[in-house]
Amino acid sequence: MGKNHEDEINQFFITNENKEEFLGFVKDAVEMSVDFKTGDLFKNELINFKDQKEISEKIYEKIPQNSISFPKVLDEYKNKILDGSTNWSWKGFIGFPDSGNSIAANIGHFMQGLSQQNLCNSKHISPTATFVEIQIINWLRELLGYKVHKKPKSLFEIGGVYAPGGVLSNTIALLVAREKKFKNCIKKGINFDPSKIKMILPTGIGHYSSRAAMGWLGMGTDNVIFVKTNPDFSINQDSLKKEIKDAKARGETIFCVTAYAGDSRSMMIDDFKGLSKITKKEGIWLHADACHGSSLAFSEKLKPAIEGLKYADSVTLDPHKVFWSPYNLSYVLFKDPAGLKSVSGVSDLITNESFSFGQTSPFIGSWGFHSLKLWFTIKHMGLKNIGKYIELRKERAEYLHKKLGTKKSFYRFNNVTINSVIFMYVPDNLKQELLEGNKEVIDKVNLLNKNIREKLFESENYFIHTFKVPDFANVLGCGNEKEWQTLRVMIGNPLTDEKVLDSFLGILEIVAQEEYKKLFENKK
């Protein structure tokens, strides 16, 4: 091979000889990334907005045949990819809480990559990471009120597993629920008529993942029953009882009810204790999508709001949503620690060891040491500090909610439960036409709110969410059947303080009035 080969090795791979050069590259890459997060890299802190055509034309190319220096790669990344990317860590990014700006979580994310552990097997390829994974799951179970085996003897005493996101976590929960109701489907195949098997979701707020999972698991996306939703976005328990009774009369079996500790719109928390009394009596699995709301377990002050989670048969959590962490990190936990046994399997590629997670990780083979970033965060901040910032996001959401109540033509659709504020802009002179059911005006008001969101994002340094939702509390006075294009702020970033929110409200009012004029007054 000779010296040229050694030079090439040092050019492309980490060695003792090029360690200092590699660390220099790391320093440059980290500085660029931190400047992006702090808003110092480009003139626009949230995004240097470009349309999709411009982006694609810059990125699409033939596969490179020859090498270029790493500094040139880094420079190309800056100019082609970072320039035009959304900065989720910017204080004006207030549509989702996934700010990804925890010091410990970012370092843990970096260290996870360099450690190159694979949680599929334990003894040989993740000997210490396996027990960090177990410890994280135990901490989460303890905080939620589930039974914990502090020194488990096997995987079936752990009662939880990693997934890259809440969608897959919810799917795994439904897979286990299916196996609980209909034994050995995973081995023998579907042994029931799928059209007779139903899952229950709340009307208007159910997360798409649960319905999608019904399709992926062979039970059909059409086989979902939607129960009534209360004015506070929670499941109407009288409606639930009625739907269960009616399903029985039709010869149908309800195998699962999915409820929410922090639905993806309002962040409402269902009454899990009350729901469990209904589901337990009927032999129905109760699944809690707590991808957001589980964060309250870290606050002594807010924890009572989710005390009912301990009654759920399964719970999903998304640390990457709520703990300022880089993607990806989600978990599904089971009340019965042996819950995953029904979907476990052993291959000669996965060692039959006591703690090889690959035995109990449906849909996932190899996965990295993603829990390390949560371990770093908990170690660095401690429970008390994490709890303090969870409480702070609720306080700031309440601040915004109260301020919006003083603003003309803004209507609030929910009360703050965790960190979500849903609202809508309806100019006073259009209200009567809405009350009269004028479809053209209703459609234009919905479009108006969509346009407000786009303007804020493209040129005003603020990102908020938008979605259609029924007016369950009838705040517009038009009934609770129609769906409205609402706007939503969701506080997560500790940098989003009252000053930022005041500035946002000022810009929001200006943009709302400007977009109204474009849509309703400039007709020609």
- pLDDT digit string (tens) for 79-98? 999 999 999 999 999 999 99
Regarding whether 383 and 357 lie in a shared domain, the answer is: no
d(CA 172, CA 386): 28
Regarding whether 295 and 183 lie in a shared domain, the answer is: yes
Regarding whether 191 and 73 lie in a shared domain, the answer is: no
Domain final position from 316, 351, 369: 369
Question: What pLDDT sits at residue 524?
Answer: 46
Regarding whether 458 and 340 lie in a shared domain, the answer is: no
Question: What pLDDT sits at residue 422?
Answer: 98
Domain final position from 369, 391, 420: 369
Domain final position from 326, 344, 369: 369
Residue 95 lies in a domain: no
Confidence of residue 345 (pLDDT cuts 50, 70, 90): confident
Q: Are 139 and 378 in contact (CB under 8 A)?
A: yes
Question: What pLDDT sits at residue 3?
Answer: 64
Q: What share of the chain has pLDDT > 90, as a percent?
A: 88
Regarding whether 297 and 171 lie in a shared domain, the answer is: yes
Question: What pLDDT sits at residue 284?
Answer: 98
Strand-pair category, 410-412 with 420-425: antiparallel
Identify the helix (H) or strand (E) that includes residue 420.
strand 420-425
pLDDT digit string, tens, across residues 393-450: 999 999 999 999 999 999 999 999 999 999 999 999 999 999 999 999 999 999 999 9
The CATH number of the domain holding residue 511 is 3.90.1150.170
Residue 105 lies in a domain: no
Regarding whether 152 and 60 lie in a shared domain, the answer is: no
Residue 108 lies in a domain: no
Confidence of residue 360 (pLDDT cuts 50, 70, 90): confident
Q: How much is the average pLDDT of 3-9? A: 78
Regarding whether 208 and 174 lie in a shared domain, the answer is: yes
Residue 129 lies in a domain: yes
DSSP character string of 295-338 = GGGG-TTTGGGGGGGGGSSEEEE-HHHHSS--S--EEEEESSGG
Residue 2 has pLDDT above 80, yes or no: no
Residue 464 lies in a domain: yes
Regarding whether 281 and 174 lie in a shared domain, the answer is: yes
Residue 8 has pLDDT above 70, yes or no: yes
Question: What pLDDT sits at residue 339?
Answer: 87
Regarding whether 56 and 37 lie in a shared domain, the answer is: yes
**C-alpha separations of 370 from 108, 116, 159, 513, 517 in Å:** 8, 10, 18, 45, 49
The CATH number of the domain holding residue 198 is 3.40.640.10
Residue 99 lies in a domain: no
Provide the greatest CA pair distance for the chain.
Answer: 84
Q: Which of 330, 313, 230, 212 is nearest to 270 (CA)?
A: 230
d(CA 41, CA 35): 5
Identify the helix (H) or strand (E) that includes residue 60.
none
Residue 101 lies in a domain: no
pLDDT digit string, tens, across residues 202-247: 999 988 999 999 999 999 999 999 999 999 999 999 999 999 999 9
Q: How much is the average pLDDT of 141-151? A: 95
What stretches of 192-263 adopt beta strand conformation (E)? 197-202, 224-227, 253-260
32 Cβ partners below 8 Å, 6+ apart?
Answer: 41, 74, 78, 82
Burial track 72-84 (b if 16+ CB lie within 10 A, e otherwise): eeeeeebeeebbb
Query: Could you give the number of structural domains in the chain?
Result: 3
Question: What pLDDT sits at residue 160?
Answer: 96
pLDDT digit string, tens, across residues 270-282: 999 999 999 999 9
Q: Are 453 and 416 in contact (CB under 8 A)?
A: no
d(CA 399, CA 410): 15
Regarding whether 211 and 168 lie in a shared domain, the answer is: yes
d(CA 464, CA 501): 12
Residue 1 has pLDDT above 60, yes or no: no
Helices (H), 182-236: 185-188, 208-216
Q: How much is the average pLDDT of 108-121? A: 95
Question: What pLDDT sits at residue 358?
Answer: 87
Long-range contact pairs involving 478-486 (C-beta distance under 8 Å, separation at least 24): 478/434, 478/435, 478/437, 480/231, 482/442, 483/204, 484/413, 484/424, 484/445, 484/446, 484/449, 485/424, 485/445, 485/446, 485/447, 485/449, 485/450, 486/413, 486/422, 486/423, 486/424, 486/449
Report helix angle 371-404 to 498-516, nearest 10.
60
Phi, psi of 169 (to 5 degrees): -60, -45
25: left (phi over 0), alpha (psi -120 to 50) or beta: alpha
Q: Which of 189, 175, 415, 397 is nearest to 295 (CA)?
A: 397
Long-range contact pairs involving 156-160 (C-beta distance under 8 Å, separation at least 24): 156/337, 156/338, 156/340, 156/341, 156/344, 156/360, 157/337, 157/338, 158/134, 158/337, 159/333, 159/334, 159/335, 159/336, 159/337, 159/338, 159/339, 159/340, 160/331, 160/332, 160/333, 160/334
Residue 18 lies in a domain: yes
Identify the helix (H) or strand (E) that includes residue 415.
none
- CA-based end-to-end distance of the chain: 74
Domain range for 423 is: 379-521
362 or 4, which is more confident: 362
Regarding whether 426 and 312 lie in a shared domain, the answer is: no
Regarding whether 281 and 261 lie in a shared domain, the answer is: yes
Question: What pLDDT sits at residue 350?
Answer: 66
Residue 59 has pLDDT above 50, yes or no: yes
